[in-house]
């Protein structure tokens, strides 16, 4: 029987249309490790792994860990943005950082 965290990972992964293999790549995990999380009764993932999996799925770590946690619409949008940002190459990330910095500097 799957654990609650495993059910949430599986549900979100399927909702996003992400394979176990792709989630493994995005979260720097192995496919077999993720399968274990999704299908075993008492997984014990590290905080670092939870953070990486949550980021890859576009949810908060709290969503995966808490029994009744739900994602707000704003939180889902923010997480989707950060997931897309994470997949950019270094050059494009630098462009985004410069744009954000310019907004902060304009507010001074």
Per-residue pLDDT, 39: 92
How many alpha carbons lie under 13 Å from residue 42 in its C-beta half-sphere? 0
- pTM: predicted TM-score of the whole model, two decimal places: 0.62
Residue 26 contacts by C-beta under 8 Å, 6 or more apart in sequence? Answer: 18, 52, 55, 56, 83
Per-domain residue ranges of the chain: 4-65, 73-106
How many alpha carbons lie under 13 Å from residue 80 in its C-beta half-sphere? 9
H or E stretch at 66: none
Per-residue pLDDT, 1: 57
* Domain 4-65 class in CATH: mainly alpha
Rounded Cα gap, residues 42 and 37, in angstroms:
8
Give the pLDDT confidence of 9-67 residue by residue, as tens digits. Answer: 999 999 999 999 999 999 999 999 999 999 988 778 888 999 999 999 988 888 888 87
How many alpha carbons lie under 13 Å from residue 16 in its C-beta half-sphere? 22
């Amino acid at each position: 029987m799957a654990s609650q965290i495993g059910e949430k990972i599986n549900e979100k992964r399927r909702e996003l249309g992400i394979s176990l293999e792709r989630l493994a790549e995005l979260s720097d995990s192995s496919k077999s490790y993720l399968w274990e999380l999704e299908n075993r009764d008492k997984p014990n993932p590290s905080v670092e792994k939870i953070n990486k999996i949550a980021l890859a799925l576009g949810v908060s770590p709290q969503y995966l860990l808490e029994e009744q946690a739900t994602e707000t619409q704003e939180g889902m949008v923010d997480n989707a943005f950060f997931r897309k940002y994470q997949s950019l190459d270094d050059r494009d990330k630098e462009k985004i950082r410069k744009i954000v910095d310019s907004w902060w500097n304009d507010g001074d």
